[in-house]
Structure 1
Amino acid sequence: MTLMIFFLMFITESATEKLCPLRASIDVLEGEYFFLCYLESMQEHFQEEAYTINWYKENAGKQQLIKETDRIVSQMNFLEFWPAELSDSGNYSVTHSNGKQNFTVQKWTLNVLERNKSSCFNKNHLTTEIKNAGTGHSLKCSDLSVNENDSITWYKDCKNYENETERELDFKTLTVQHSGIYTCKILISHEGKIYHSTNTIKLVVEEDAPEAGALEIVGHNEEIETEIGKEEILNCTGFLGYYMREDASLYWLINQKFPEKCTGIPENEPSICEEELKKLKLGNKFYVTTLLRIKKVTDEDMHRNFTCMLQADERTQIKIVKLKKGNTRDLPVHIFTTGMVLAVLFPCVAVAVVFVCVMFRVDLVLFYRNICRRDDTAGDGKEYDAFVSYLKDCISPTEEEREFALKILPMILEENFGYKLCIFERDVSPGGAVVDDIHSFIDKSRRLIIILSQNYVSDQAIYELESGLHKALVERKTKIILIEYMPISDYNVLPESLSLLPSKRVVKWKKEKSLPVNSRFWKNLRYLMPAKPTKINTKGHYNNLHVGSEGAEPRTEGCDFNVVV
């Protein structure tokens, strides 16, 4: 008899473990059957004293005991909703009590999403699966129902799909035509009534990689505004397709003549030189890129044609770049002219001025922006000043990095200097298509701030990095700011294309030394951010911030808040 009880408990626990994955945040649609549940090890059945189970929901900051109704039912380690309503959203917890002590077993945040009245699914309540054409694949229905006799119906783009009624939708060979939004609907019978739950999957089937026809230079002929005496770096990038072509060559011509090669030694560099060719892989796409460095732009350079040539498979693509005089961005022309006159008349004063300009360049530019109320954000169609990318996994040994990204950075940049940041964990509703959301929000941002640490390259952070590099190096739409939060001992784990970013775009965090609002760290960061008029408040938020101290806010349980049921 004891063995039989043990066997039944083992089966029950196995089923519960399948239905109760560890998750901190859960999304569910209104009007659908749903339940919360927690895992209970078999040792508790044999070793602990008798206990009672209580379910709680947070109300006005206090834990309120959930009373059973016809709609909300508690059965041991399950809390069932027949069905879930919008008012059920909130923070839930479950406790064990042996009459002497209460033990909190698990906590959840439940988000009940409003149903789309004009569609069979909610776009914020789906998962995305990207597959290659020609492969086999299966779409799996929700595990909310364990009764094999429950009725199951599949829909594609809200239309009944081939009368499929199985729990798994099998595709032996995927084609592009299989792309679409698939919804699985399960009908569940309870006390004479029929309820349902749905699971929606967006299937994206990509075609096989195109062949040689994809060869092209990224971008078109262009004119770049510059100034006499200014350093310019011309970038030319060629797209090779979905495999690396060994015979591809990319090079610059200046009025049909080859430029000299850069030596890597600043004092020996020619006035115009070409960097070594670099090969890049961004996602599943291959590129080659080369830089043409102009140490100081001259009037003669304004009349030259800088031509980039891409050759492969006996085909040639060209891109012509011309320089033209433009308006000074940060310092007006009369200030530069006045400085030159003073340098000629008063050599000693000139030396002092040059020294001050070099040492306090950042302070001068920030002062100029503040006085002239410059605004680089007006009319550019962007929604955010910066998208913040940081380590989101559980592999970080301390809470310092998360606190820096979620608390210190927005507190200083948003509250003190008026910038608007996009922080995925804070600003993006959970449950969406993560890859699509990241790409969309980087597109809406003027800068990509990467908080770089030893463990950065992991999980979705690597996609944020690759998307940002693609937009900075290829599309030239987004500028990247690297914050070296912790010293990096091995740069080999990072993408090679990071080496193409200017070193002046790296800002180093020095813990307590960098905390004050008027520290060099925040000045350098603001210098790299777009100019934006704001009333600066430098009165003390940082005095209450102690990175990694006992006063820091506790971390929310769990690491990945983007789980979709």
Structure 2
Amino acid sequence: MTLVIFFLMFIIGSASERLCPLRASIDVLEGEFFFLCYPESRQEHFQEEAYTINWYRENAGKQQLIKETRRIVSQMNFLEFWPVELSDSGNYSVTHSNGKQNFVIQKWTLNILERNESSCFNKNHLTTEIKNAGTGHSLKCSDLSVNENDSITWYKDCKNYEHETERELHFRTLTAQHSGIYTCKIIISHEGKIYHSTNTIKLVVEEDAPEAVTLEIIGHHEEIETEIGKEEILNCTGFLGYYMQEDASLYWLINQMFPEQCTGIPANEPSICEEEFKKLQLGNKFYITRLLRIKKVTDEDMHHNFTCMLQADESTQIKIVKLKKGNTQDLPVHVFTTGMILAVLFPFVAIATVFVCVIFRVDLVLFYRNICRRDDTAGDGKEYDAFVSYLKDCVSPIEEEREFALKILPMILEENFGYKLCIFERDVFPGGAVVDDIHSFIDKSRRLIIILSQNYVSDRAIYELESGLHKALVERKTKIILIEYMPISDYSFLPESLSLLPSKRVVKWKKNKSLPLNSRFWKNLRYLMPAKPTKINTKRHYNNLDIGSKAAQLWTEDCDFNAVL
């Protein structure tokens, strides 16, 4: 999504003052009027009587003083372009000098986009607004002009729109027919010549959600294969609709008898207990869920009916779950006897074996996959091995997190272990409907990798998490992998429904210690990824300097690209 440039005008008597927004990266179309500026309040701490303001542009790594021309004009805290050209792309800064020392006031990255000769807008230079039908809305034309009375024309899909000339385009009641791409064009007169600035908005009008929804239990009657002595957790989830029904109840019955409640203390819990009732909200949909925990499956449990019952609005829905033995055969008597004798005669060997299996469990599984060439991805219809979700903010104080998501993670998993990742900024063509794209690409992925941070919950990131939780808890199609990039002491900022994942695992990144290909971090991550035949590239070696230099070379370009999204 493109960062749109906003310039505000406040008129006091006959004088006017233009205020400037704080922004680090700016996209502008070639051939249009534009100006850089910084708020005058930033000069308040400079109290010297004599000082100068200088504008600079970075050239070959060095700061070069900008000289005024008829096209580029400097006026104190404004640098005007009449108009901008493709060659103006680069890094700019403005300094305050008292003759002894220079102080940098502000820096910008200016990216000039090429104009589309066959259209009135550039698809990479627009913002997207998604609204519901039946509501009122206004589209605002960014105030890019110098004078308040400059001429304004609105276009819809590059055709003049109802001869509208106001700075705001009002819709009393939105309908699906209002969807389209709207462009406002501001005509500016300067020194006898005509210039213009444009702002483009893609308006998507969605139909309202259905009012009447039938409440239902997710899933049908089912039989679960298990083994004697194994722990089983039965999950029952009910869909309530688009609002939370306070009178809804969800509970388990075992042969028409209520189970005991789980106490949270393992030593005091019964062999079968019902966990606490929980409410969930995924997007604009509401669910309730309850788990039934069976500590150790017995032969008697194979003959029980485990019934989940959902009641609300005087209606009842049920789901029956039965346990059955898997296709396993009991060990022959002589094999069991031999095993017992070995356990008695060689206790240290048995303890050492258990110790090795527990400590090196991940290594053994990866070794087994490699030897057997196991492939869990064949024929499942998925296109990607994992969708990567992380905080998308170029001005985030934690820039290393972004480098990790866009550089280190795909560099190792794709180039060295043969996985195929879906990274929104890299793999999704800009300009589409963001919500639909996220849902579609998560649905095409076998895993959802979430790179956790305290600032993770942003508008788009939280939707990616909610979509992944819906597929993990309700549809059981996608498994979630959590990467703790920075140490986190409190997980309360994450949705409560994340705690319902039976096999939730967190892989912790430990910076330089985790960089080598054979580190514990990459092994644990590959263990949680789907098994597939891989050919490890041992000829390439990555260390902190290699990765850091490659990330630094592309950092500025990626921030600009992701700003478009």
Question: What TM-score does the superposition give when structure 2 sets the normalisation length?
Answer: 0.75
Q: Residues of 2 paired with 1:189 and 1:327: CA distance? A: 82
- Matched-pair contact (CA < 8 Å) for 2:51–2:99: no
- Matched-pair contact (CA < 8 Å) for 1:343–1:351: no
Query: Which position in structure 1 is the counterpart of 2:530?
Result: 530
Query: Which position in structure 1 is the counterpart of 2:79?
Result: 78
Q: Residues of 1 paired with 2:520 and 2:46: CA distance? A: 59
1:346 pairs with 342, 349, 353, which one?
Answer: 342
- Matched-pair contact (CA < 8 Å) for 2:130–2:204: yes
Could you list the per-position Cα deviations for residues 104-150 of structure 1 after superposition, in whole angstroms to 9, with x for gaps in the alignment?
54433333445556654444333233445565432210221233333
1:493–1:83 Cα change, 3 Å: closer
Q: What is the DSSP-based 3-state SS (H/G/I as helix, E as strand, rest coil) of the residue aligned with 2:139?
A: strand
Query: Which position in structure 2 is the counterpart of 1:387?
Result: 388
Q: Which amino acid aligns with 2:24?
A: A
1:375–1:21 Cα change, 3 Å: farther
Q: What is the DSSP-based 3-state SS (H/G/I as helix, E as strand, rest coil) of the residue aligned with 1:346?
A: helix
Structure 1, unmatched stretches of 5+, are: 1-6
1:302–1:82 Cα change, 3 Å: farther
- Matched-pair contact (CA < 8 Å) for 1:26–1:564: no
Q: Residues of 2 paired with 1:342 and 1:189: CA distance? A: 97
Q: Residues of 1 paired with 2:310 and 2:115: CA distance? A: 52
Q: CA deviation at 1:100?
A: 7.3
Query: Which position in structure 1 is the counterpart of 2:244?
Result: 244
1:323–1:54 Cα change, 3 Å: same
After TM superposition, list the pairs within 5 Å mapping 1:241-320 onto structure 2: 241-252=241-252, 261-266=261-266, 273-293=273-293, 308-319=308-319
Quick check: 1:146 aligned with 2:146?
Answer: yes
Q: What is the DSSP-based 3-state SS (H/G/I as helix, E as strand, rest coil) of the residue aligned with 2:366?
A: helix
Could you list the per-position Cα deviations for residues 421-454 of structure 1 after superposition, in whole angstroms to 9, with x for gaps in the alignment?
4556777788876656654554454333333345
1:376–1:107 Cα change, 3 Å: farther
Query: Which position in structure 1 is the counterpart of 2:6?
Result: none
1:500–1:99 Cα change, 3 Å: same
Q: Which amino acid aligns with 1:502?
A: P
Query: Which position in structure 2 is the counterpart of 1:370?
Result: 370
Q: Which amino acid aligns with 2:247?
A: D
1:252–1:117 Cα change, 3 Å: farther
Q: Which amino acid aligns with 1:197?
A: S
Query: Which position in structure 2 is the counterpart of 1:498?
Result: 498
User: Which has the larger displacement, 293-302 or 103-112?
Assistant: 293-302
Q: Which amino acid aligns with 1:535?
A: I
Could you list the per-position Cα deviations for residues 403-437 of structure 1 after superposition, in whole angstroms to 9, with x for gaps in the alignment?
65566555554555444545567777888766566
Q: What is the DSSP-based 3-state SS (H/G/I as helix, E as strand, rest coil) of the residue aligned with 2:213?
A: helix
Q: Which amino acid aligns with 2:462?
A: I
After TM superposition, list the pairs within 5 Å mapping 1:483-562 onto structure 2: 483-502=483-502, 504-509=504-509, 514=514, 517-532=517-532, 533-535=534-536, 537=538, 541-542=542-543, 544=545
Q: Which amino acid aligns with 2:311?
A: Q
Could you list the per-position Cα deviations for residues 460-488 of structure 1 after superposition, in whole angstroms to 9, with x for gaps in the alignment?
54344333323322333332222344554
- Matched-pair contact (CA < 8 Å) for 1:35–1:80: yes
Q: Residues of 2 paired with 1:458 and 1:132: CA distance? A: 21
Q: What is the DSSP-based 3-state SS (H/G/I as helix, E as strand, rest coil) of the residue aligned with 2:240?
A: strand
Query: Which position in structure 2 is the counterpart of 1:465?
Result: 465
After TM superposition, list the pairs within 5 Å mapping 1:56-455 onto structure 2: 56=57, 58=59, 72-76=71-75, 77-80=78-81, 82=83, 84-85=85-86, 88-94=88-94, 104-115=104-115, 120-131=120-131, 135-174=135-174, 178-190=178-190, 194-205=194-205, 210-219=210-219, 231-252=231-252, 261-266=261-266, 273-293=273-293, 308-319=308-319, 343-344=339-340, 346-347=342-343, 348=347, 352-378=352-378, 380-383=381-384, 385-390=386-391, 392=393, 405=405, 409-410=409-410, 412-414=412-414, 416-422=416-422, 438-439=438-439, 441-455=441-455
Q: Residues of 2 paired with 1:90 and 1:443: CA distance? A: 38
- Matched-pair contact (CA < 8 Å) for 1:387–1:441: no
- Matched-pair contact (CA < 8 Å) for 2:309–2:316: yes
- Matched-pair contact (CA < 8 Å) for 2:255–2:304: yes
Q: Residues of 2 paired with 1:405 and 1:537: CA distance? A: 22
- Matched-pair contact (CA < 8 Å) for 1:393–1:458: no
Q: CA deviation at 1:246?
A: 1.8
Could you list the per-position Cα deviations for residues 2-61 of structure 1 after superposition, in whole angstroms to 9, with x for gaps in the alignment?
xxxxx999956x31x2xx3221222234454444344455559973645464442545x5
Q: Residues of 2 paired with 1:334 and 1:58: CA distance? A: 76
Q: Residues of 2 paired with 1:248 and 1:438: CA distance? A: 31
Q: CA deviation at 1:95?
A: 5.3
Q: What is the DSSP-based 3-state SS (H/G/I as helix, E as strand, rest coil) of the residue aligned with 1:78?
A: strand
Q: Residues of 1 paired with 2:62 and 2:372: CA distance? A: 50
1:214–1:202 Cα change, 3 Å: farther
Q: Residues of 2 paired with 1:492 and 1:450: CA distance? A: 16
Q: What is the DSSP-based 3-state SS (H/G/I as helix, E as strand, rest coil) of the residue aligned with 1:482?
A: strand
Q: Residues of 1 paired with 2:334 and 2:473: CA distance? A: 36
1:52–1:83 Cα change, 3 Å: closer
Query: Which position in structure 2 is the counterpart of 1:4?
Result: none
- Matched-pair contact (CA < 8 Å) for 2:480–2:504: no
Q: Residues of 2 paired with 1:540 and 1:441: CA distance? A: 31
1:222–1:200 Cα change, 3 Å: farther
1:429–1:105 Cα change, 3 Å: farther
Q: CA deviation at 1:361?
A: 1.9
Q: Residues of 2 paired with 1:298 and 1:121: CA distance? A: 68
Q: What is the DSSP-based 3-state SS (H/G/I as helix, E as strand, rest coil) of the residue aligned with 1:147?
A: coil
Q: Residues of 2 paired with 1:325 and 1:536: CA distance? A: 43
Q: Residues of 1 paired with 2:67 and 2:322: CA distance? A: 74
Q: What is the DSSP-based 3-state SS (H/G/I as helix, E as strand, rest coil) of the residue aligned with 2:446?
A: strand
1:407–1:485 Cα change, 3 Å: same
Q: CA deviation at 1:272?
A: 5.6
1:491–1:43 Cα change, 3 Å: closer
Size of the alignment, in residue pairs? Answer: 544
Q: What is the DSSP-based 3-state SS (H/G/I as helix, E as strand, rest coil) of the residue aligned with 1:281?
A: strand
1:355–1:196 Cα change, 3 Å: same
Q: Which amino acid aligns with 2:275?
A: E
Q: Residues of 2 paired with 1:119 and 1:214: CA distance? A: 46
Q: Residues of 2 paired with 1:100 and 1:113: CA distance? A: 38
- Matched-pair contact (CA < 8 Å) for 2:96–2:104: yes
Could you list the per-position Cα deviations for residues 476-535 of structure 1 after superposition, in whole angstroms to 9, with x for gaps in the alignment?
333222234455444444321121123551234456655554343332222112224130
Q: Which amino acid aligns with 2:522?
A: W
Q: Which amino acid aligns with 2:342?
A: F
Q: CA deviation at 1:311?
A: 2.8
Q: CA deviation at 1:365?
A: 0.8
Q: CA deviation at 1:387?
A: 0.5
Q: CA deviation at 1:245?
A: 0.7
Q: CA deviation at 1:184?
A: 2.0
- Matched-pair contact (CA < 8 Å) for 1:399–1:555: no
- Matched-pair contact (CA < 8 Å) for 2:235–2:291: yes
Q: Residues of 1 paired with 2:459 and 2:198: CA distance? A: 27
Q: CA deviation at 1:364?
A: 1.1
Q: What is the DSSP-based 3-state SS (H/G/I as helix, E as strand, rest coil) of the residue aligned with 1:290?
A: strand
Q: Residues of 2 paired with 1:447 and 1:257: CA distance? A: 38
Percent identity over paired residues: 75
